[in-house]
Chains A and B, each alone.
Chain A
Amino acid sequence: EDQVTQSPEALRLQEGESSSLNCSYTVSGLRGLFWYRQDPGKGPEFLFTLYSAGEEKEKERLKATLTKKESFLHITAPKPEDSATYLCVQIAVNTGFQKLVFGTGTRLLVSP
């Protein structure tokens, strides 16, 4: 079964304390990996797309990287406004159609 596993489930950082979130997958026929941010009670917001191992994307304090088996979301010098749940999503091909497989997310809390 296609699975996307994110770790840790929750992460608490002090403002300015850099860290990384992990996304590993067992999806067969990977067609892309995506990162989203979700604030409580809101819809997820698209952040990055990664297609091939070695690829990196950056946006403000966030940098996403991809290897053959996992992806990392690096957060450099986070601020309280970076507090959110970060979702890893992958496209899997199954019986002729594509589907998105969502991870359960990492809840990030950045304290001032």
Chain B
Amino acid sequence: DSGVTQTPKHLITATGQRVTLRCSPRSGDLSVYWYQQSLDQGLQFLIQYYNGEERAKGNILERFSAQQFPDLHSELNLSSLELGDSALYFCASSVTSNTGELFFGEGSRLTVL
């Protein structure tokens, strides 16, 4: 158990819909990262927050947005969903913002029909 909690674990929705994925980082971790992993693909970095502020942005679509709240939990919002958005979405956390030692959650599996 990494200490990172993601909900929901599974989500099935239709094209055009909007969903919100939630992440609670490990206790004491200030940095939260979001990654997307499509079937048999590598991890694609979406976005990073540190103590409530956006720190780095990767290949995140304009239809996607995220935020980190004062209690350090984070949400990833996916809107106008397309079939290609079906993937595992991982949240990870770390103590600092400039480390490669991340602790990943179990992921949220999104299926868009």
Q: Are A43 and B100 in contact (CB under 8 A)?
A: no
> Total A-B pairs in contact (CB under 8 Å)?
55
Classify the secondary structure of B's interface with A.
Answer: loop
Q: Are B92 and A43 in contact (CB under 8 A)?
A: yes
Q: Which residues of B contact A (CB under 8 A)?
A: 2, 4, 33, 41-43, 45, 55-56, 58, 88, 90, 92, 97-107, 109
* Cα(A32)–Cα(B101), bound, Å: 10
Q: Are A45 and B100 in contact (CB under 8 A)?
A: no
Pick the contact of A42: B33, B55, B106 (CB < 8 A): B106
Q: Are A49 and B100 in contact (CB under 8 A)?
A: yes
Residues 11 to 40 of chain A near chain B (Cβ within 8 Å): 31-34
Residue of A49, A89, A99 ringed by the most chain B CB atoms within 10 A: A99
